Structure 1
Amino acid sequence: MTVFVLLVGLTLVVAAGAYVQASIGFGLNLLLVPFALLLAPHVVPLPALVVNGAVSALVARTDRGHLDRRLLWLLTVTGLPGVVLGVFLSTIIGARPLAVCGGVFVLVAVALSVHEPVVRARPATVGVAGFAAGLLASTTALTGPPVALALGAEPPARRRAAVAASGAVLTALTLACGAIAHPTALSTLRWLPVLIPGAALGLFAAHRSPDAIPPTTQRVATLGVSAAAALLLLTRALLG
């Protein structure tokens, strides 16, 4: 594969992921990480985390009028211990067992959301989701599924704002903790510029048609992307 084809592929994958993320608050790294691990492993995890956090921050800014700051604060406070624990556990037992646990957790959460009445956003539920999102962010570079599922009963714009804002914050916390635990990994950030064009393209497309996805479709997409995240994590962990 030539460098040109690789760059075009990365751009298209990031553009598709950014479009999805602008619609439901997360999804970029679900598409980018497996593609990059196969063809451009240096993009994972730090460059992928940075572009994911940047897209999340822009989505959150667009939906800032719908953002519940108390909700974001709760997700941040409960997410930080998850990030720290994830970084710590990664140095002890490795990423594979943690990925299996994370994948199983998300699949169970999706099943509960599909077959049971949607759980309302209560402090305890949001707190557990924040901790899980922090743990997943620091072990698998994914932040959205737990928060999206915990806020499944919320209006789409409010849910998207919370998922995107918490994703941006947890990404920053993960980068900070990762830099302390693995400072040499910062050298991979030189690959970040190759991801920026795709992110810009996807956000532009989403801006041109912000209401293209109805609320019901967003709900289905949230569950579908969450399940895809779980299957991705399990596949990577079990097949290596």
Structure 2
Amino acid sequence: MTTWPVILGLGFTLLAGAFVQSSIGFGLAVVAAPFVVTFAPELMPGSLLVTSFSLPVLQLLHAEADIAWRSLTWSVAGRLLLTPLGVAAVALLSVRSISIGVAMLILVTVAASLTSWQVRNTPVTAVGAGGLAGISGTATSIGGPFLALVLQHERPERLRATLAAFFLLGAVISMVSLGLVGEFTRHQLLAGLTWVPFVLLGYAVAAPLRARLSHSHLRSAVLGFCALAGAGILIRALIF
């Protein structure tokens, strides 16, 4: 079982992840998951799902609720549909196998977005993004890049608010699903709650940057961070 000094040390990766997510709409788990899976693999994915629940609550309480409801509805439907596959992946597959699959999906999606064929916000793409998040978000706690790419052309406030609502609902779905099959432990819950103050601090520190991000800068940040996230997850899975 992971010791509390290690859990507290990992809290600083949650602080960094919360800073990123508060700025561009996602990134909490993308930043923290590689460290958690390296130093405390038994805390995955439940502990990060707890923090994935806490930050969206804060974002929705302190920001304009400018939510793209149609996109949110379709993406949540997709997540509900495919979350059982994520639960099965946690039970049957290694973390390395899951990480490679998620990384490849992220990189292919980014590449597609940079070509003449753009990822547009439609019911089909929203359902697809939600479905992929249902698998990868439940298995690894990383599900944000897919819907973020679908919403990349939205205003910064709408992108952040819609992703926050999606993460809130998605985290609840995933935690309940994992709990039903015994894959969400008390130790994961306590570790996730311990990280909440770090998440709150990361959100507060990011406030000045949120005010400065324009639409074009946000889209570039989303695409760039998705690419870095996918490459980082893939390299880590292949090397370690």
Rounded Cα–Cα distance in structure 1 between residues aligned with 2:212 and 2:190: 35
SS of corresponding position for 1:153: coil
| Alpha carbons 1:82, 1:131 under 8 Å: kept | yes
Distance change in 2, residues 1:139/1:212 (3 Å)? same
| CA drift at 1:27 | 0.6
Matches of 2:106 and 2:184, distance apart in 1: 31
Q: Distance in 2 between matches of 1:83 and 1:232?
A: 24
Corresponding residue of 1:124: 124
Contact 1:120/1:154, CA 8 A, preserved across alignment? no
1: CA distance between counterparts of 2:184 and 2:84? 18
Conserved? CA contact 1:79–1:134, under 8 Å: yes
* Structure 2 gaps, min length 5: none
* In 2: Cα distance, 1:96 partner to 1:39 partner: 14
Opposite residue 84 of structure 1, the aligned amino acid is P
Residue 115 of structure 1 aligns to which amino acid in structure 2?
Answer: T
Identity percentage over the alignment?
30
Q: Deviations over 1:12-63 (max 9, x none)?
A: 3222211111111111112212222333445432122111221123223444
8 Å CA contact 1:118, 1:152 repeated in 2: no
Give the Å deviation of 1:179: 0.7
TM-score by length of 2: 0.87
One-letter amino acid of the structure 2 residue matched with residue 112 of structure 1 = A
Query: Bigger shift: 120-129 or 61-70?
Result: 61-70
How far apart, CA to CA, are the structure 2 residues paired with 1:184 and 1:12? Answer: 23
Q: Could you tell me which residue of structure 1 aligns to residue 51 of structure 2?
A: 51
Distance 1:41 1:105, change over 3 A: closer
Answer yes or no: is the 8 Å Cα contact 2:66–2:158 preserved in 1. yes
Q: What TM-score results when the alignment is normalised by the length of structure 1?
A: 0.87
CA distance in structure 2 between the partners assigned to 1:98 and 1:26 by the alignment: 20
Deviates more, 1:137-146 or 1:29-38: 29-38
May I ask how many residue pairs the two structures share in their alignment?
A: 238
Q: Post-superposition shift, 1:124? A: 0.8
Map residues 4-83 of structure 1 onto 2, 5 A cutoff. 7=8, 9-83=9-83
Change (3 A) 1:172 1:6: closer
Q: Is the 2:47–2:188 Cα contact (8 Å) retained in structure 1?
A: yes
CA distance in 2, matches of 1:194, 1:92: 28
Offset at residue 117 of structure 1 (A): 5.2
Structure 2 CA distance for aligned equivalents of residues 3 and 65 of structure 1: 36
For the structure 1 residues 65 and 196, does the alpha-carbon distance in structure 2 shift closer, same or farther, using more than 3 Å as the test? closer
Amino acid at match of 1:78: G
Residue number in structure 2 paired with 1:137: 137
Provide structure 1 residue ranges, at least 5 long, that are not aligned to the other structure: none
Partner of 1:174: 174
Report the RMSD for the aligned CA atoms in angstroms.
2.4
Determine if contact 1:21/1:56 at 8 Å carries over to the other structure.
no
**Could you say which residue in structure 1 is the equivalent of 2:160?**
160
Going from structure 1 to structure 2, the CA distance change for 1:3 and 1:92 (only over 3 Å counts) comes to closer
Query: Which position in structure 2 is the counterpart of 1:232?
Result: 232
Deviation at 1:131, TM superposition (A): 0.6
The amino acid across from 1:75 in the alignment is S
Segment drifting more, 106-115 vs 116-125: 116-125
Three-state SS of the structure 1 residue aligned to 2:121 is: coil
What residue is the counterpart of 2:218 in the other structure? 218
Question: Residues 4 and 212 (structure 1 numbering): CA distance in 2 closer, same or farther, change over 3 Å?
Answer: farther
